[in-house]
Amino acid sequence: MKKNKRANKTTRRDFIKTTAAVGVAAVLPAKQRLFAAGSDKLRVGLIGCGWRGTEAAEDCVKAAPNIEVVAMGDIFQDQLDWSLAKLSREADDKVSITQDTSFVGFDAYEKVIACDVDMVILGTPPHFRPLHLKAAVQAGKHVFMEKPVAVDPPGIRSIIASSELAKQKGLAIVAGTQRRHQEHYLEIIKRIHNGDIGEIVSGQCYWNMGDLWVERATENMQKRNALAWSDMEWQCRNWLFLTWLSGDHIVEQHVHNLDIINWALGAHPVQCMGMGGRQVRTGPEYGNIFDHFAVEYEYPNGVRVSSMCRQTGGCHEIVAERLTGTNGQTYTDGSTGYVEGQNPYKYEGESPNPYVQEHTDLIASIREGRPLNEGKRIAESTMTAIMGRMSAYTGRALKWDWAMNASKLDLSPPSYDFAVDFPPRPVAVPGKTPLV
């Protein structure tokens, strides 16, 4: 496959300008195909060909009949080649990619969207999600987008605006918060909302796990030195460890648990106070993210939720949520859920693969003409995580309304260009890093 030779150079202003150009008819109803009972093929484009994006494409073609992946794009040729090979092995009869529908570069997303696709899967690092969602919605495409959906407040505002436009245009948006489509979570949350544990008074949520992709970080540093990668290329390949690309692991991972808390309480927090740091992963290969966070969130009616996340080997691991009410408590994690107290319950039914189910629900909503739109709620859950990170990085308590509406924190690089020097920003120091 011939590598795309177009220069990989643009700025965030250029991104915004080109996404606006894509959406000439942004306020008009989108052109819709007929998908009744799966009778017409749904053509899908993949934007972001890493592990998660590729797995999402595989899940999508398993989720319903008459699905075909027809276009794909990534900023790296080797990443695209790997993804295409994997998709071809796993779902060859549902993949129809040619040299004319595979694209490389920072502008690859525009070219995928311009193809004859009905839906796009957004699987790039989270920093790019607001720009890509805006372009997709303006072009009249349905969207599956991985979580989280932004890394800073301006990105969140953009996601909410694009989600509102999608609603006006009758477009579906489903996010990769698979717990929202998982049977035991649905049953437990239903019981919470029915009042089975009474009035919620407190909660806890955790994503405390071992080391994650540390071997990849070491390997990327070795390749950076051996292959003379630029700062931008190294950071994009090592994106999990750079705040501007991932949002830090409180945003990239812990958003799942915070989303459950917001779901159960039917609200976002009103303020928070957090702390965190780098205790174990301190080398330059780990970029500028923290390895642990602890945040107290206050929700309406004075409900306080303790949040913890950690990526440290050799320590106790837990990825779960607990909620305590006046009549009982609930526990949920990726495999089980139960209620204790006056109305005890444990889910013992079947649990279809939620990573496939979220695509099944999305596709069904498109074909039935009742498009799901999860954009605003995942934006608020992502903002919950961003707010916690901002508090931990600066050592300051902060309120939701200020962070959502007034914060000017924009983590974008000065340009998207592999040839320009862009040293990693320093690690945040609580008490010294300013709250912007």
> Which of the residue ranges 37-51, 101-115, 167-181, 224-238 would you say has the lowest mean pLDDT?
37-51
pLDDT at 414: 93
Q: Is the pLDDT of residue 218 over 80?
A: yes
Q: What is the pLDDT of residues 339-389, one digit of tens each?
A: 999 999 999 998 899 999 999 999 999 999 999 999 999 999 999 999 999
pLDDT at 26: 35
Fold entry, domain 191-350+381-403: Dihydrodipicolinate Reductase; domain 2 (3.30.360)
Q: Is the pLDDT of residue 126 over 60?
A: yes
Q: Give, to the nearest 10 degrees, the angle between helix 255-265 and helix 375-394.
A: 120
Q: What does the block give as tokens for 399?
A: 């309120």
Note the helical H segments in 139-198. Answer: 153-169, 183-193
8 Å CB contact between 69 and 94 = yes
- Mean pLDDT calculated for residue range 206-213: 94
Q: What is the pLDDT of residues 245-285, one digit of tens each?
A: 999 999 999 999 999 999 999 999 999 999 999 999 999 99
Share of the chain above pLDDT 70, in %: 91
Q: To the nearest whole number, what is the mean pLDDT of the chain? A: 92
* 189 vs 32 pLDDT, higher one: 189
pTM for this one? 0.92
Rounded Cα distance between 368 and 363, Å, is 8
pLDDT at 33: 54
pLDDT at 212: 87
Beta strand spans in 312-404 (E): 318-325, 328-333, 337-341, 345-346, 398-399
Q: Is the pLDDT of residue 28 over 90?
A: no
Note the helical H segments in 28-152. Answer: 51-63, 77-91, 108-114, 129-138
Q: What does the block give as tokens for 98?
A: 């040619």
pLDDT at 112: 98
- Mean pLDDT calculated for residue range 50-78: 97
pLDDT at 92: 80
pLDDT at 379: 98
- Mean pLDDT calculated for residue range 217-242: 96
Among 388, 379, 393, CA closest to 429: 393
pLDDT at 3: 34
Q: Is the pLDDT of residue 27 over 80?
A: no
* 260 vs 18 pLDDT, higher one: 260
Beta bridge partners of 144: 121, 174
Longest dimension (CA), the chain: 65
Rounded Cα distance between 45 and 37, Å, is 21
Share of the chain above pLDDT 90, in %: 89
pLDDT at 35: 52
- Mean pLDDT calculated for residue range 92-99: 93
Q: Which CATH number fits domain 9-179+361-374: 3.40.50.1220, 3.30.390.10, 3.40.50.720, 3.20.10.10?
A: 3.40.50.720
Domain boundaries, the chain: 9-179+361-374, 191-350+381-403
What would you report as the CA-atom Rg of the chain, rounded to the nearest whole angstrom? 21
Peptide bond into 413 cis (omega under 30): no
- Mean pLDDT calculated for residue range 54-83: 98
Confidence tier at 421 by pLDDT (50, 70, 90): confident
